[in-house]
Amino acid sequence: MIAAIQRHGALVVLVVLLAAGGLMFRTFLTAYTLGNLAVQASFLAMIALGMTLVIISGGIDLSVGSVYALAGVLAAYGSTRWGLAGALILPLVVSGVIGLIQGTLIARLRMAPFIVTLCGLLFARGLLQLITSEGSTTYLVPAGSAFRWLGDGTVLVVIAVVAYLAGGVVLQRTPFGMRLFAVGGNEDAASLMGLPVARTKISVYVISGLLAGFAGVMSAAQLGSGVTVIGVGLELNAIAAVVIGGTMLTGGAGAVSGTLAGVALLFVIQELINQLGRFNSNMQAVVSGAVLVVVVVLQTLLSRARRQR
Amino acid sequence: MSSASTLIRRTAIRDYGVYLALIVLVVVNVVITPNFITTDNLRTQLVQVVPTLVVALGMALVIGTEGIDLSVGSVMAIAAALLPLYLGYGVVASILVCLVAGALAGLLNGSLVTFAGVQPIVATLALLVGGRGLALVIANGQLKQLYNPDLLALGSSSVIGIPLTVLVALVLVVIVALLVERTTFGRQLVAVGGNRRAAEFAGLPVKRTLLTVYMLSGVFAAIAGVLASARLTASDPSSLGLLIELSAITAVVVGGTPLTGGRVRVIGTVAGALLMQLISATLIKHDVPASVTQMLEAALIAAAVLVQRERRNGR
């Protein structure tokens, strides 16, 4: 029972808030409002999916916000030079390589994930500034480019849903998923069992980099340009979504479905505050922080109660 | 024999690497940077490092308990927002309000970590998000010029040639160093960070220690907010302390305090903060673009941590 609440806590709160929103505002439970929310949430959803896998492996990835912004700029640049292929390949290769380097430093040289990915955050942001001449050059996706259809709202949401389905299957039904839980639960034990610990950890950072990169590609397709100022603090939102979704930062347990509910919850809360209209944007941050505290405390207490039984 | 000397050499690099790097960087600057060894320049460097250093002192204590405090930048902003509100009652009263607010912020963080058992990174993340909003609500979203002469004197005056803010930071360094090295509290802090369960079994006041540590971090962040505002002669809750949590964590870790807790290196933290300040100042002086500076900093942090990493390194 407690396990179920903890596992689906975010979902329960989400349903309650959606119902409350529907009762308070006639426009809330409409395809238009919810559709808009889904499109806005699709970028964070992609990033939080990768973050979930990293956190299950016992690590953390602070670089995702910067990689997201960097990939967006690279996608726009790529689309101006080499069309659709450039818009996809260039950013994904770069973000994949950043993930590979981070994963290698963490898994092979046993450096702390927090520090390595913090460096990744600075490095990717610096690289982004470098290729945009300190933020003064903006790359625009050519108007008729085939790349633009990717930015269509429906396409974005479909991509995110497919990514989550794939993520769920990989985590629950494949040897890789099993290894991930084993490595995050007890690295020494996993190593003694002969599991390829280092390779598993490296893969997870590559996946996280690729997903953050792809979210950046999606943003460039939607916005029609590479925006240099986006993604600051996004890693923290992603971590929040993962934790709200019931995945503990200690690693070894978790599910992508919870993260999806966590992402949705963050956006529904935001939308409710918007609709209430009584709060200015500063007050919204206060409310978001307070909600985060409540949800996280509940999650922690529930998972503790579950462990003591 | 050879392995023993290798071990000694590695330990030496790990423990003294940050000082070595600092000395090398100073020497390089003396050679390549014109007007480096001038009192003006040295004073500027010291004044600029004060907020990061003060925040890093509190952060070092928190990290010593295997925790982390992401909320420090927002707490700085809250202090800055409160500062002009009570200046009518005098500078002392106004600063006291800020310090109390910092302590309360720390109490919130500490309670979440201690009583609710929330992981430090998440507990303090909530205040990072909410605190900046709160600061802006308090200040009505506005930047305010500060006109109080006593407050401005705190930011700009010097005693025997040393800026007052630097002296304050120096006093805080001594206090924290004594706290860690000479007091029961310091030993308890290190014990809690080394092995919390063992500390609990040994009957140490684990919860009180954790609460105190987060409250100290909050108070230090508030002090940093006051000092920075006094120097800027303005209260700027929207951008004060932005991303300072990352600089502070970097200073602490580069200074040799492991993120896994169980050890606090106060003087190392000071050296770490000075090193980071000097790196960016050097690059700026030589017209290296900000982007390259940022990337070099990232590489240097990675190198510093790589050198210091221990054989058994968690996360």
Query: What burial class does residue A74 get, using C-beta atoms within 10 Å of its C-beta: 0-12 exposed, 13-18 middle, 19+ buried?
Result: buried
Cβ neighbours of residue B308 under 8 Å, at least 6 residues apart?
B13, B14, B17, B253, B256, B258
> Nearest-CA distance from A144 to chain B in Å?
32
With a cut of 90, say whether residue B5 has pLDDT above it. Answer: no
With a cut of 90, say whether residue A123 has pLDDT above it. Answer: yes
Share of chain B above pLDDT 90, in %: 55
Domain count, chain A: 1
With a cut of 80, say whether residue A215 has pLDDT above it. Answer: yes
Share of chain B above pLDDT 70, in %: 93
pTM surpassing 0.80? yes
Dihedral pair phi/psi, residue A245, rounded to 5°: -75, 0
**Residue range A52-80: mean pLDDT, rounded:** 94
**Residue range B277-294: mean pLDDT, rounded:** 87
More confident: B82 or B308: B82
| A301 to B117: CB separation less than 8 angstroms, yes or no | yes
| Chain B residue numbers touching A6 (CB-CB < 8 A) | none
Coil, helix or strand for A77? Answer: helix
Can you state the angle between helices A281-308 and B120-138, rounded to 10 degrees?
160
CATH, residue B277: 1.10.3470
With a cut of 70, say whether residue A172 has pLDDT above it. Answer: yes
With a cut of 90, say whether residue B307 has pLDDT above it. Answer: no
* A 121-160 → B contacts, CB under 8 A: 121-123, 125-130, 134
| CA distances in angstroms from B281 to A240, A309, B49, listed in the order given | 35, 56, 11
**Residue range B231-240: mean pLDDT, rounded:** 92
| Chain B residue numbers touching A111 (CB-CB < 8 A) | 302, 305-306, 309, 313
Residue A16 lies in a domain: no
Residue B29 lies in a domain: no
Domain count, chain B: 1
Interface test with A, best of B125, B134, B249, B308 (most A CBs within 10 A): B125
Structure confidence at residue A90 as a pLDDT band (50, 70, 90)? very high
With a cut of 50, say whether residue B312 has pLDDT above it. Answer: no
Residue B302 lies in a domain: yes
Residue B3 lies in a domain: no
Residue A267 lies in a domain: no
Structure confidence at residue B271 as a pLDDT band (50, 70, 90)? very high
Structure-token pair, residue A46: 């992609």
User: For residues B149 and A52, what is the distance between their CA atoms, to the nearest angstrom?
Assistant: 52
With a cut of 80, say whether residue A34 has pLDDT above it. Answer: yes
Residue B22 lies in a domain: no
Q: What is the pLDDT of residue B258?
A: 86
Indicate the length of chain B as a whole number: 315
DSSP state of A227: -
More confident: B311 or B25: B25
Q: What is the pLDDT of residue A51?
A: 96
Residue B296 lies in a domain: yes
Residue A225 lies in a domain: yes
Structure confidence at residue B274 as a pLDDT band (50, 70, 90)? very high
With a cut of 60, say whether residue B310 has pLDDT above it. Answer: no
Q: What is the pLDDT of residue A220?
A: 93
**Residue range A41-68: mean pLDDT, rounded:** 96
> Hey, what amino acid is at A20?
A
Which residue reads 């919850």 in tokens? A265
More confident: B217 or A147: B217
| B111 in A contact zone (CB under 8 Å) | no
Least confident of A289-298, B156-165, B249-258: A289-298
With a cut of 80, say whether residue A304 has pLDDT above it. Answer: no
Residue B10 lies in a domain: no
With a cut of 70, say whether residue B313 has pLDDT above it. Answer: no
| B122 in A contact zone (CB under 8 Å) | yes
| A246 in B contact zone (CB under 8 Å) | no
Share of chain A above pLDDT 70, in %: 96
Output the average pLDDT for chain A. 89
CA pseudo-torsion sign A225, A229, A233, A237: negative
With a cut of 90, say whether residue B10 has pLDDT above it. Answer: no
With a cut of 90, say whether residue B231 has pLDDT above it. Answer: yes
Indicate the length of chain A as a whole number: 309
With a cut of 70, say whether residue B7 has pLDDT above it. Answer: no
pLDDT digit string, tens, across residues B166-181: 999 999 999 999 999 9
Residue A258 lies in a domain: no
pLDDT digit string, tens, across residues B190-215: 999 999 999 999 999 999 999 999 99
Q: What is the pLDDT of residue A259?
A: 94
Q: What is the pLDDT of residue A41?
A: 95
Q: What is the pLDDT of residue A309?
A: 52
Structure confidence at residue B35 as a pLDDT band (50, 70, 90)? confident
Q: What is the pLDDT of residue B8?
A: 67
Cβ neighbours of residue B258 under 8 Å, at least 6 residues apart?
B63, B308, B310, B313
**Residue range B233-261: mean pLDDT, rounded:** 90
More confident: A209 or A277: A209
> Nearest-CA distance from B142 to chain A in Å?
11
More confident: A77 or A283: A77
Smallest CA-to-CA distance from A145 within A75, A203, A204, A207 is with: A75
- Structural domain including B184 reads 39-313
Structure confidence at residue A97 as a pLDDT band (50, 70, 90)? very high
- Structural domain including A71 reads 42-253
Structure-token pair, residue A269: 């809360």
With a cut of 70, say whether residue B311 has pLDDT above it. Answer: no
User: For residues B297 and A290, what is the distance between their CA atoms, to the nearest angstrom?
Assistant: 34
Q: What is the pLDDT of residue B39?
A: 82
Rg (chain B; Cα; Å): 20
DSSP string, chain B: -HHHHHHHHHHHHHHHHHHHHHHHHHHHHHHHSTT-SSHHHHHHHHHHHHHHHHHHHHHHHHHHTT---TTHHHHHHHHHHHGGGGGGG-HHHHHHHHHHHHHHHHHHHHHHHHTS---HHHHHHHHHHHHHHHHHHHTTT--EE---HHHHHHHH-EETTEEHHHHHHHHHHHHHHHHHHHSHHHHHHHHHHH-HHHHHHTT--HHHHHHHHHHHHHHHHHHHHHHHHHHHTEE-TTTTTTTHHHHHHHHHHHTT--TT-S---HHHHHHHHHHHHHHHHHHHHTT--HHHHHHHHHHHHHHHHHHH--SS---
With a cut of 50, say whether residue A80 has pLDDT above it. Answer: yes
